[in-house]
Every structure is written in C-alpha cells, then in structure tokens.
Amino acid sequence: MAAVCNGKLEDSFMVPEIKFTKLFINGDFVDSVSGETYETIDPRSGEPTARIAEGDKEDVDLAVKAAREAFDNGPWPRFPGAGRRRLMMRFADLIDENVEEIAALEALDAGKLFHWLKAVDIPVVAETLRYYAGAADKIHGETLKMTRELQGYTLREPIGVVGIIIPWNYPSNLLFLKVGPALAAGCTVVIKPAEQTPLTALYFAHLAKKAGIPDGVFNVVPGYGHTAGAAISSHMEIDKVTFTGSTEVGRLVMEAAARSNLKPVSLELGGKNPFIVFDDADVGTAANLVLQGSLFNKGEVCVASSRIFVQEGIYEEFSNQLVEKAKTWIVGDPFDPRSNQGPQVDKKQYDKILSYIEIGKAEGATLLTGGKPCGDRGYYIEPTVFSNVEDDMRIAKEEIFGPVISLMKFKTVEEAIRRANATEYGLAAGILTNDLNIANTVSRSIRAGVIWINCYRAFDIDCPYGGYKMSGFGRDFGMQALDQYLQVKSVVTPLYSSPWL
C-alpha cells in the first residue's frame, strides 16, 4: 500500500505572501463591521494560513447598498457593451499577468495542483472573462410578429444586483463563470466565496479595481454560509442569486429567496455521474479517461464520474487496468509538479470521504485498491477503487466528493440507461463507444445536462453547462448563461398604416 501515498507530502515549497485579507466593498478593502476574523486553513498541513475578515449581515448590507447604487445610478450598466468589454479585457490581462501568484494562492487555499492551475485553470479564468467581454455588445432582444397593428419588441435588460455564492472546489473558475456574464450583462455583483477558499476572490477584487471596474460593481464578502450566505439569499435588495454548491445548501438558498423578495435563483448542485463503458471501447483509453474523470481534482468536482458502468465483456480487463493505473497515480504536495492529486480541501471533507470508504466496505463492496489516508498530516487520501458495487449501496447513491471510484457491471444498452438514470441527480454522464447508434441513443436517453462521448469533463466556454433533476437548473457557460442575468421586457405600441404585418 505504500506505493499509493507516493508523493512528497512536506510543504517545503514556496508559499505566496497573502496580501488581501479584508472585505472588498465599494472599491475599498475594509474590516468587517463586527471586527471579526476567521482563519483559512492549509489543507497540506491542517495549519492556518491567514486571518480573513469575516463578513456577516451588516457587511452584506453595505455591499448591497454599494452594488445597488452602482447599478441604479452608476456608469456600469450605462456603458455601451464595448465599454464593459474594454474594462473586462483589461481585467483578463491583469489575471494573465499575475497567473503565478493567483495559482499559488489557490493551491494553498484549496489543495489544488499548482502546475495545473498555472497552465490551465487560471488561464481559462482569463479566457472566460474575455468570452463574456466579447458578448457584452451582442445582447439582442427581438422584434415580434404581432397579430394585429402593433409594434412589439423585447429588450433584454440587466436584472440588477446579483448575489454570487460559490464553493471551494474551483474558487477562481466558478467565480468568473458567474461574474463574466453578470458583468457583461451590465449587472453589479456581491460575491461570497466559500469560507474555505477566500484568498483568490480577494486578489481578484484588487485586480478589478486596478482594471478600472467602477466602485460598487464588484464586491467580495468572505464569510460563512449561515451568516453571510444567508444574508445574501434573503436580501430584499438583491435581484437574483446564482449558487453552485451542495444540494442541501441549494435548498436553503431557494427557500430564503422565496421567503424574502421572491428573487429568481439558479442552482448548480451535486451529481452522481455515470460513466458507461461499452464493450467496443479501447480498454486502455477507457481506463485513463475514467481515472481522470473520477480522480481529477481529488474527486472534488461536481461532475466527477463516480459510478462506472462497465459492459461485462471487458469488465475484468478494465478493472485490472484501472487498478494498475490508479497505483501509479501520485498523491503529494500540490506545489510538487509531479503530484496528480493534492489534499482534500478540509478536515470535514476528509472525514466524510473516509467514512464513506468504511461504509463501502461494510456494505460488501470489494476494495480493489486504496481506501486509506496518506501520511499523518493534512488531508491526503489514497485513490480508491471498489468493485462489485450494487446500485442500492450508499456509495452508489450518495455523492462522496472524493477520490473514490465505484465499478458496476452491465449487460445491455437498455440496462445501462435505466441504471444510469436511477438517481435523483442529473448533472453529467460519460459514454465510451465508437458505435454511432449507441452514442446517439444513450446520449438522448440519459437525463443529465451534459453528455460527454469518448471524452470527459470536456468543458468549453461556449458550451452551456448545468443540471437536470436535483442537480439544479439554470445554465453556466455559453451565451445561455447571460439569460440568468437579464430580464425580458416587452414594449408594445400601436401602428398605423403599416404596409405589412
């Protein structure tokens, strides 16, 4: 078993200076009204990294006041789309210029791989901003085909002040997934980053100001869900809330929105995503894709492929290859360029994952590899593969959010579809086959918002992303995402002597 915990776990790598630790409201870094602070923890060691100002209801009120003023009377929504584009492009450039520092902060805060953040995640953040910057001047309504002498058209207007509540697994990417379209639409925002991972959000606030984004447009209030988060969901002056996180908290956000001012919400929640591997798939490729799909970002991905359905013809060979590859997967310090997997984000997640592993064993699944924590400091866990998993086991039904893979055997296409759909979730699904008809039938039949055929986690900024069923509603990415931050207004006037209808 020693081979699995095979990376370097000492945090001997360079740690960045933490420059921004206060709330960012109306263009300034300020202490919380209460003066309270909290510690953000380094998951490589369990030790505190920095003290961050802790926002609560009163701070959210101040941020909303600033955002309200900026929207109702400020220049941001009144800029032409090209004006917002220019500033957002500058913001994106500043992100590129500071990629290393941002990547280091995120690696430190969330245990994410530094080399991946620097090469992929953070550059994608800048690209996301650029994509939406380029959309700002292309937001169209329609002229309508009225049935009598009336001129009618729709205007798509910015909805106003947007509350953004994001999780800790992709702090930067999920932030800009929401901020990009919200800003392009002309809205102003109040952001609550996850309490586990506030560092990059505050750094971005600094860059926003540097880029020239007017005061009050971009506000960041770190704090806890039940205080700052709840204050946002139930705020009477916030026009819309967009949330990515757990299904349980998604419920609370929607309830609070209903009880307060009936603000619309968009929710992107959990998943228990199936990956269906058909007999005709190349086993080596399949094993690689599944490994990546399940273990990437230490399994802390809402689209993680956690139920692997393998057709019986290749089941044996597939599980052997998967286990072999899992054994070469390096768990180690996220700053070490050789690591494939860093620590889980915090003790709570770490404990939860380990308890699910025990549950899996108790329920009778066969542990093929892994199953134990790595090292005695921090929150590292071995990549874990269970075989002979039954559909009604808890490890097959509940979202674990860690490096745990469940293998299930199937016979026919119909069976795969039925079992893949037997979940309250509906976020993503993977299909491995070169058969055109199987690909088409299965992609249409699985009730999930994103289907990946012969690939996985193939996100793209132009590709809408979101859930079916209890994985939520509303779409991020793509031009579709703008809808979340716009409202449709119809304007109708009578016409006289029109030469056509």
Partner 1 sequence: MAVQSTGNGSYEPSQVKLPEIKFTKLFINGEFVDSLSGRTFETIDPRTGEAIAKIAEGDKEDVDLAVKAARKAFDHGPWPRFPGSERRRILLKFADLVNENAEELATLDAIDAGKLLHLMRIIDLPLAVDTIRYYAGAADKIHGETLKMSRELQSYTLHEPIGVVGHIIPWNFPSLMFAIKVGPALAAGCTMIVKPAEQTPLSALYYAHLAKLAGIPDGVLNVVPGFGPTAGAAISSHMDINMISFTGSTEIGRRIMQAAATSNLKPVCLELGGKSPLIIFNDADVDKAAEQALQGSFFNKGEICVAGCRVFAQDGIYDQFLLKLKEKAQNWVVGDPLDPNSHHGPQVDKTQYEKVLSHIEQGKKEGATLFYGGKPVDRKGYYIEPTIFIDVKDDMTIAQNEIFGPVMTVFKFKNVEEAIKRANETKYGLAAGIMTNDLNIANTVSRSIRAGAIWINCYFAFDADCPHGGYKMSGFGRDLGMDALKKYLQVKSVTTPIYNSPWL
Residues in contact with partner 1 by the rule CB under 8 A = 127, 144-148, 150, 152, 154-155, 157, 239, 247, 250-252, 254-255, 257-259, 261-262, 264, 267, 269, 424, 439, 443-444, 448-455, 458, 460-466, 468-470, 472-475, 478, 480, 487-494
Amino acid at position 3, single letter: A
Q: Which is nearer to partner 1, 4 or 281 (CB)?
A: 281
Quick check: 161 and 187 in contact, CB under 8 A?
yes
What string of DSSP letters covers 305-330?
A: EEEEEEEGGGHHHHHHHHHHHHHTPP
Nearer to partner 1, 344 or 484 (CB): 484
Taking the complex as a whole, the smallest distance from the CB of residue 160 to partner 1 amounts, in Å, to 8
Question: Which one is catalytic: 268, 300, 382, 399?
Answer: 268
Helix (H) or strand (E) holding 109, with range, is: helix 99-110
302 carries an active-site annotation: yes
214 secondary structure, DSSP code: P
Nearest of 20, 26, 28, 27 to residue 53 by alpha carbon: 20
Closest CA to 184 of 485, 491, 499, 498: 485
Task: Assess contact for 23 and 400: CB atoms under 8 A.
Answer: no
13 or 153: CB nearest partner 1: 153
- Residue 79 CB, shortest distance to partner 1, in Å, is 15
CB nearer partner 1, residue 380 or residue 452 = 452
Instruction: Catalytic residue, from 5, 187, 302, 374: name it.
Output: 302
Distance of alpha carbon 272 from alpha carbon 305, whole angstroms: 7
| Nearest distance in Å: CB 398, partner 1 | 16
CB of 409 to partner 1, least distance (A): 25
Q: Which C-beta is closer to partner 1: that of 178 or that of 475? A: 475
Nearer to partner 1, 380 or 456 (CB): 456
Least distance to partner 1, CB of residue 266, Å? 9
Nearer to partner 1, 367 or 451 (CB): 451
Judge whether 77 and 158 are in contact, CB under 8 Å. yes
Cα dihedral 176, 180, 182, 188 sign = positive
Beta carbons of 174 and 167 less than 8 angstroms apart: yes
Query: 17 CB contacts (<8 Å, ≥6 apart)?
Result: none
d(CA 67, CA 25): 9
Residue 432, strand partner residues: 277
Shortest reach from residue 94's CB to partner 1, in Å: 21
Least distance in Å: CB of 10 to partner 1?
A: 36
For residues 109 and 483, which CB has a smaller minimum distance to partner 1 in the complex?
483
Nearest distance, CB of residue 404 and partner 1, angstroms: 25
* Residue (401 or 468) nearer to partner 1, CB: 468
Smallest separation, CB 339 to partner 1 (Å)? 25
Q: How many whole angstroms separate alpha carbon 418 and alpha carbon 228?
A: 41
Q: Are 495 and 149 in contact (CB under 8 A)?
A: yes
Q: Can you tell me the distance from the alpha carbon of 131 to that of 98, in angstroms, rounded to the nearest whole number?
A: 19
Q: Is 374 in the active site? A: no
Q: Give the whole-angstrom CA distance, residue 262 versus residue 282.
A: 51
* C-alpha separations of 342 from 9, 13, 351, 381 in Å: 9, 13, 16, 9
Q: Closest Cα partner for 271 from 434, 466, 125, 443? A: 466
321-340 as b/e, with b when 16 or more CB fall inside 10 Å? bbbebbbebbbbbbbbeebb
Beta strand pairing call for 240-244 and 161-165: parallel
Give the residue numbers marked as catalytic: 268, 302
